Amino acid sequence: MRHSASEVEAGRYDYEYKNENGNEGYVEQPVIVGAATVAEAEGRGGDMHRGLKSRHIQFLALGGAIGTGLFVGSGGILALVGPAPLFMAYLSMMLVVWNMMNILAEIVTYLPMKGITIPYFVKRFVDPSLAFAVGWNYWYAYAILVAAEATAGSILLDYWETPVPAAVWIAIFLVVILFLNIVAVGVFGEAEFWFASIKFLTIMGLIILGFVIMLGGSPNDQGRLGFRYWKDPGAFTPYLVDGNTGKFLAYWTAFVRAGFAFITSPELIALAAGETIAPRRNIPKAARRFVWRLAIFYGFGSFIIGVIVPSNDSRLLSPTSNATASPFVIGISRAGIKGLNHVINAAILTSAWSAGNAFLFSGSRVLYGMALTGDAPRVFGRTNRNGVPYMAVLMTWSIGLLAFLNVSNTGAQVFTWFSNISTISGFIAWIVCMITYIRFRKALVYNNLLHTLPFATPFQPYFVYVTLVIVSLLTLTNGFQVFFPSQWSVSSFLAAYITLPVFLALYIGHKIWFRTKFAIRIENIDVLSGKKEMDELCGQDIEPVPKNWAQRAWFWVA
């Protein structure tokens, strides 16, 4: 049955269409012609504002990617498997993240509509049931990470042994990030820029200092380190078994654990695209520089850690995740540098605050987008006069109150268990992102629109297939150690694998309830709605021309 254009715009109808190849078919999802925002297309929710500048989104992704995973988590990997697997794992994970950043940037620069989220694209290009499952999976992961960073912040503040209870520090941490997220997106972006700038300068300083210590510039008499600790106690600490098999397992477990430091970070730029000024100019710039910055920080950072700290240093095995467990602080203390530990602790605190700020932003935008598409209650689609989805922010922030579980020892154990689950949630989300990109690209090829991509990245689509296999293996084997003799642990098994049946339950339950098809047919995938409006919007963008060398340098950086 053919419907008029007005009927199609007013409701959810399948209607006949003809693409550029002259092929006819039926659109299985609503196509709303002339909509420039998701809220307008879906007929629900408030509008958002484009208040994020280039420097805001660049440092937003940086702030979310560089947190306690690098400063503290890397020390745990070093103690477990040695410096070589640590370095190799971070390099390997950076290739995965590079692919994720590229494919997400391609999609969001093609359609940088206000209100877009990754679940929105999954629903549009793949399947509504998969979008429902991955949307709640994303939201859960981000909300739990807010609580994780709030807990880390309270522990880092307790490093100075203040008489203030941990619950007070958690409350202060949460109230500050709520304020920054609820006022206006421009305020949030500015705060994130300065948070991440402090982190950027601190890490660069630590890397330079690490090379100085490595080359013999320590105040004490430890001399020129070179690769001393790669020889004794050794570059590899075989994991579970001896020999080359143990070395490979050491690398693989480091690869899995390195995911925590990177998980959900590429999505931060994608989620901000709808609120970004000149998205087709600024999103590609942020995407290209994001991976290079990660390469510097995680590549050089993980290398330096393995050079200045031996893997058998007992302080790496500290049961408390405070600054004394940071390999940077341990290396500085071994070099005899006094007083710098407080500076580093303050920098780690800033990184936790920055990451928590970014995760609250991302989680609220996922929930807002789901409300627009009907996968979450409509109340979460409301925005205030500054274009902030305040109800989604409040709901996501409320999950961060789980950080108060850490006031008791038992609560802390439960909370750590949930935090581990969020890492696997991130791996599952990456798998769905790659499936979505494959479908998106096939639809572009079918409609002869591949050449219209505003931002095309190298090695596609081959690279995404390779990465899809790797991330799938990481997801399935992330808890492989529990199957070894004497390694079985119910809590470890559940932390590694319970997310898989939960995700499948959401997916299958939605599919049974709504009786959706397995997937939208390639010929029926909508790659046109909103494109004309985005072309016109971005066509009005005029790139600023620097007037002098200072402006030229600033425009390049920011």
Which segment of 41-50, 76-85, 251-260, 401-410 scores lowest on mean pLDDT? 41-50
pLDDT band at 554 (very low <50, low <70, confident <90, very high): low
Query: Looking at per-residue confidence, does 167 or 431 come out higher?
Result: 431
- Is residue 208 within 8 A of residue 72, CB to CB? The reply is no
- The answer, yes or no, to whether residue 43 has pLDDT greater than 60, is no
pLDDT at 470: 94
The pLDDT of residue 323 is 44
Q: How far does the chain reach from its first CA to its final CA, in angstroms?
A: 52
For residue 522, the one-letter residue type is I
* Most confidently modeled range among 62-76, 129-143, 220-234, 335-349: 129-143
Whether 472 has a pLDDT exceeding 90, the answer reads yes
- pLDDT, average across residues 460-479: 92
- At residue 27 the predicted structure's pLDDT band, cuts being 50, 70 and 90, is very low
Judged by average pLDDT, the poorest of 131-140, 452-461, 491-500 is 491-500
User: How deeply is 424 buried, as exposed, middle or buried, from its count of CB atoms within 10 A (0-12, 13-18, 19+)?
Assistant: buried
User: What mean pLDDT do residues 53-71 have?
Assistant: 61
* Residues 439, 525 contacting (CB under 8 angstroms): yes
Whole-angstrom distance, CA of residue 176 vs CA of residue 396 = 14
- The answer to whether 266 and 57 are in contact (CB under 8 A) is no
Q: How many CA atoms lie within 13 A of 119 on its CB side?
A: 29
Q: Copy the structure tokens of residue 457.
A: 């990245």
Mean pLDDT value across the chain: 77
For residues 476-514, one letter each, b for 16 or more C-beta atoms within 10 angstroms of the residue's C-beta and e for the rest, the string is eebbebbeeeeeeeeeeeebbbebeebbeebbeebbeee
The label of the residue with tokens 């972006």 reads 189
The model's pLDDT over 249-266, given as tens digits with 9 standing for 90+, comes to 999 999 988 887 777 777
CA atoms of 205 and 213, how far apart (whole Å):
12
pLDDT for 266: 79
Question: Residue type at 413?
Answer: Q
Top mean pLDDT of 187-201, 378-392, 505-519 is at: 505-519
Q: Does residue 16 surpass a pLDDT of 50?
A: no
Rounded Cα–Cα distance for residues 187 and 311 (Å): 42
Q: Are 122 and 436 in contact (CB under 8 A)?
A: yes
454 within 8 A of 282, measured Cβ to Cβ: no
What pLDDT band is residue 320 in, cutting at 50, 70 and 90? very low
Give residue 6's pLDDT: 40
| Mean pLDDT comparison of 64-68, 266-270, 315-319, highest-scoring range | 266-270
**How far, rounded to the nearest angstrom, does the alpha carbon of residue 434 sit from its chain's CA centroid?**
14
Please determine, for residue 188, whether its predicted confidence score (pLDDT) is greater than 70: no
